[in-house]
Amino acid sequence: MWRGIRVSAEAFNRRDLDALVPTRHPDFEFHPPREAVESGFFESCYRGAGGYRRYVSELADVWGADIHIESLELIDMGDRVVMLYDAPVRAQASGILLTGRLASVATLANGRVIHQQDYFSHGDALEAVGLE
């Protein structure tokens, strides 16, 4: 299993974004869930370490600084890795506690993540990589 995905999740939970840099390709692109982009919460793409830092800051504005992810399953597909996880969050505006089932599909280049697409649904992520 690609260790970098697990390291990335742990670093995100600690907000140690410097620890993510070695796991990311210099041309890294991060794409939030389509629904979050269409709702106007996030940009469609964040590029490089600086872009990802901006995304995490915007994420905290919406869901609070204590958001964390709980890994449920990692699926190693060679040049792609699927991570299925829960992300308990509290909406900043309403204070409502939600538990979301989220997923990421990471594409690797030379052992580093070059592209990551997040999904609000495990099913959507699995479908994106041809698993049902």
What is the residue extent of each domain of the chain?
3-128
- CATH number of the domain at 3-128, out of 3.10.450.50, 3.30.70.270, 4.10.1240.10, 3.40.50.300? 3.10.450.50
- What mean pLDDT comes out for the span 67-81? 88
Distance, CA of 123 to CA of 1 (rounded, Å): 21
pLDDT in tens, 81-127: 999 998 876 666 666 666 678 899 999 998 899 999 999 899 999 99
Q: What pLDDT, on the 0 to 100 scale, is given for residue 1?
A: 42
Cβ within 8 Å of residue 95, ≥6 positions away: none
